[in-house]
Amino acid sequence: MAQRCVDGYHVSEAPQNASKQELDTQDGTGEQIALSVRNVYKVFGKRPAEVIKRLKAGKKREELSALGTAAVIDASFDVKKGEIFVVMGLSGSGKSTLIRTLNGLWAPTQGSVVVGGTDISKTSEKELRKVRQEKISMVFQHFALLPHRTVLENAAYALEIQGVAKADRTQRAEKVLSMVGLEGWGAKYPSELSGGMQQRVGLARALCAETDILLMDEAFSALDPLIRREMQEQLVVLQAELGKTIVFITHDLNEAMFLGDRIAVMRDGEIVQIGTPDEILTNPANDYVAAFVQDVDRTRVLTAGGVMEPPLAVVTISGGPRNALRTMRDLQVSAAFVVDRRRKYQGIVRDRDVMAQVEKGATDLAAVVRNGIEPVSPDTALNDLFGRAVESPIPLPVVDDDGRLVGALPRVTLLAALGNVPSTTGEFPVVEVAVAPIPEQVVTAALAQSEGATK
């Protein structure tokens, strides 16, 4: 009766495969690739080709430092349309070099980068400029605004390069400036603005270009933590509104986890793992990633859907009070979730109420269903659940967009998720014993009695 498989959210053994399956099921099959990177190498130094040859032969990059520095080693990934793809790594991991190959600021030493159907590693300078104007724009770590131009002129810069007439580009830039919360600042110069505001101008400039893809190179790293948080939230909102594809570079794991639909973790020029924040956190590919994710604030990353248990104590409304009471007796619980025939969540019932119904000989379970506990969505971050878990005497019901009960969140599961220990699944009744259930014999007696009465 319990639904064992909890969509794609359940922890799986093989993170890489799981990610593909999961995304397939989430997005359907028709998803489009915005950006495709295949076997990209970027080597600086005297003999780049030789370095690549030896890297392929299995040498480590430290052994080849005399020949050249391999900044990016064999990077391959696809970025889907409308996703925020985060590349995370410490300084020197090659992430800034990698992002610069995506718009051709650095030509890859080997490999291909396809942006919207154009392989920019093979195209002419002129063609490349066109791709940069129309398909891919960029936000920089230190804002990179033109200090001798006003905020408005900066925001309109991309349009100016595209050859848009002045009146038109001014109007469009003003619109985008108000979108990022800088209405009325157009006439100021960048030096008159705070760091956070300057980066809003940087963001406005990139948005104004109206490209599908946005590259963000440590875009929020130079900002104060509070401002950074605000900008991250605003970016998520803007992304949802505009549907941009974003490649975001950061060294801050919390930022990566907060923003990323998927995260690529880089180390020493190589991508060591690509996966959803959940996967990276719960199934790190190696010790390096594991050490890296140790400090992350798990409560912000993990979601109700990611850690929930299958709900066992579930009774159907059509089954009536007797069935419900029997289920609760068998599982030794004092309460159960109630669903309708289509598994839509209705509320909870308590054993005492149900027993009273049974003793009265009533057949309507709906009369004793309580609605005191608001169900939670699978996307809710754990951070937002602790308060409610404390207040709720029984596990929190997790309900999908269609209102169907898909899982339950006992307090012990929340705790287990924080410690990254696997919480028990399946064998235990998921409804906790917050209130001691009515002793089994009493229930059995009541059931027998009611059976006698109905006869």
Q: Which residues bind other proteins (CB under 8 A)?
A: 100, 103, 105, 129-134, 137-138, 140-148, 157-158, 161-162, 189-191, 198, 205, 209, 215
Q: Half-sphere exposure (CA, 13 Å, Cβ side) for 437? A: 27
Minimum Å gap between C-beta 85 and other proteins is 18
DSSP class per residue in 96-136:
HHHHHHHTTSS--SEEEEEETTEETTTS-HHHHHHHHHHTE
Q: Which helix (H) or strand (E) is 241 found in, with range?
A: helix 225-242
Residue number, 133 or 383, with CB nearest to other proteins? 133
CA angle 366, 367, 368 (to 5 degrees): 95
Residue number, 146 or 291, with CB nearest to other proteins? 146
> Are the beta carbons of 213 and 135 closer than 8 angstroms?
yes
Residue number, 105 or 356, with CB nearest to other proteins? 105
Minimum Å gap between C-beta 123 and other proteins is 13
CA distance 379 to 276: 13
Minimum Å gap between C-beta 214 and other proteins is 11
Residues whose CB is less than 8 angstroms from the CB of residue 66 and which lie 6 or more positions away in sequence, other chains included: none
Minimum Å gap between C-beta 95 and other proteins is 15
Minimum Å gap between C-beta 215 and other proteins is 8
Minimum Å gap between C-beta 217 and other proteins is 9
Residue number, 188 or 411, with CB nearest to other proteins? 188
Minimum Å gap between C-beta 142 and other proteins is 5
> Are the beta carbons of 444 and 41 closer than 8 angstroms?
no
Residue number, 79 or 312, with CB nearest to other proteins? 79
Residue number, 213 or 289, with CB nearest to other proteins? 213
Residue number, 205 or 262, with CB nearest to other proteins? 205
CA distance 34 to 111: 17
Extract long-range pairs of 352-356: CB within 8 Å, 24+ residues apart. 352/438, 354/321, 354/324, 354/325, 354/328, 355/325, 355/438, 355/442, 355/443, 355/446
How many residues make up the chain in this entry?
455
